[in-house]
Structure 1
Amino acid sequence: MYQLRGVTKQYRRAKDTVEALAGIDLTIGDGDRLVIQGPTGGGKSTLLQMLGGLDRPTAGSVELDGTDLAKLPEARLTKVRAESIGFVFQSFNLIPTLNAQENVETALVPLGLKVADRRERAAEALKSVGLGERL
């Protein structure tokens, strides 16, 4: 479950301060679905980056299952992202020199799995979404 309390994110742009998020309070329960909608520049991507642990708030807390993501050292945050958070990016973010299975395996590296285990899990994942022929 996510619990956001007073989440604010400010960016510096030249001499100006841009407030992308201003005091967001939000609870997202396990299994909940959420739609984030709004105008360009309204903070949608910034909020998603907070939820994914890709950015840290200027103020407030972003808790995932009781752990404040903003207070974690980068190595621990990387492990949380690898174990607990999934991303579907607008652009593919694939490494063009790798095949589909190798691209999926790359996301499993932070878990510390053996090569054979990564290959097996990547193959299962691709098959489960109808991409088994891309192995």
Structure 2
Amino acid sequence: MISQEEFEQFVDLVERTCDVMNQKAQHNPSFYRSNDGKMMESVVWEEFADQARETIFEQQVSLVPSTRSFPDIIIGGKFGVEVKTSKSGWKSLGSSIMESTRIPGVEHIAMFSGKWVRGTSNSKSNLMKHA
């Protein structure tokens, strides 16, 4: 069971990480546009781990090595982040997001989307709850 405080801190971590990645993307958009989805999972994971310092999630941010499960990143064992990238729009057909591949114990998942288009880079996040 997730406490309200844990959930609020997870939301804060997601929002902070999204803000920082947007700032970095504005300073170096070519770096983000030149990376594929798998590489971006690592970049997003590193930023989450960095932003988790001095929070209840410090040292609890893990990149999932399997391509056959979701989410891509586990935080504190109960939270997850699924990373999606696009060079055109925000739509995801959910090719890697199937309930049968969800890692057990993960109750809340943030969708972390990166969109890379001419001259700009932008990230956004949305939260999902496992029912």
TM-score (norm 2): 0.30
Larger radius of gyration: 1
